[in-house]
Chains A and B, each alone.
Chain A
Amino acid sequence: MTKTIVVAACKGGSGKTTLCAALAAHASSAGQRVSIVDADPQQSLGLWYERRGWPENPGCFSAADEHDLRGTIAKACTEADWVIVDLPGSLMRTDIAIRHADLILIPVRASMLDLEAVNPICEVGDEAGVARVFVVNAADKDWKLLGSAMDALGELGTVLPETIRYHEGHPAAMAIGQTAAELKSPSSRIAKTEITALWAAVSKRAARKARA
Chain B
Amino acid sequence: MGDIGPVDLKAALRAQLGSQRRKVSGSASGRRALEREANNPHDARLTRGTPRSTTVQLNVEIPEDLKQRLVNEVRASGDRMVLIVSRALIAELEKREAARA
Partners in one complex: yes
Q: Which of A's residues lie within 8 Å of B, judged by CB?
A: 10, 90-92, 110, 112, 115-117, 119-120, 123-124, 127, 142-145, 148-149, 151-152, 155
Question: With A10-B31, A91-B35, A143-B2 as given contacts, are A116 and B7 in contact (CB-CB < 8 Å)?
Answer: no
Contact B10 A152 (CB under 8 A): yes
Interface residues of B in 14-44 (CB under 8 A from A): 16, 22, 25-28, 30-32, 35, 39
Interface status of B82 (Cβ within 8 A of chain A): no
**Listed A/B pairs (16) with beta-carbon separation below 8 Å:** A90-B31, A90-B35, A91-B28, A91-B32, A92-B39, A112-B9, A117-B25, A119-B26, A119-B28, A120-B31, A144-B2, A144-B7, A145-B7, A145-B9, A148-B9, A148-B10
B35 → chain A closest CB, angstroms = 6
Using a Cβ cutoff of 8 Å, how many contacts connect chains A and B? Answer: 59
Contact A92 B16 (CB under 8 A): no
The residue in B1, B22, B28, B32 that gathers the most chain A C-beta atoms within 10 A of its C-beta is B28
Contacts of A115 on B, CB cut-off 8 Å? Answer: 9, 13
Closest B-chain residue to A126, C-beta based?
Answer: B28
Contact A112 B6 (CB under 8 A): no
Contacts of A142 on B, CB cut-off 8 Å? Answer: 1-2
Interface of A (DSSP majority class): helix
Contact B9 A149 (CB under 8 A): yes
Contact B2 A119 (CB under 8 A): no
Bound-state Cα–Cα, A115 to B15, Å: 13
Contact B13 A116 (CB under 8 A): yes
Contacts of A110 on B, CB cut-off 8 Å? Answer: 9
- Shortest 9 CB-CB contacts between residues of A and residues of B: A152-B10, A123-B28, A120-B31, A119-B26, A120-B28, A152-B9, A148-B9, A91-B31, A124-B28
B28 → chain A closest CB, angstroms = 4
Query: Given known contacts A144-B7, A145-B7, what 16 new A-B pairs fall within 8 Å (CB)?
Result: A90-B35, A91-B32, A92-B39, A112-B13, A116-B16, A117-B26, A119-B26, A120-B25, A142-B1, A142-B2, A143-B2, A144-B1, A144-B4, A148-B6, A151-B9, A155-B10
Interface status of B62 (Cβ within 8 A of chain A): no
B15 → chain A closest CB, angstroms = 11
Quick one: which of B1, B7, B16, B27 contacts A123, CB cutoff 8 A?
B27
B1 → chain A closest CB, angstroms = 5
Question: With A92-B35, A92-B39, A142-B2 as given contacts, are A119 and B27 in contact (CB-CB < 8 Å)?
Answer: yes
Bound-state Cα–Cα, A149 to B12, Å: 11
Bound-state Cα–Cα, A155 to B4, Å: 24
Contact B22 A116 (CB under 8 A): yes
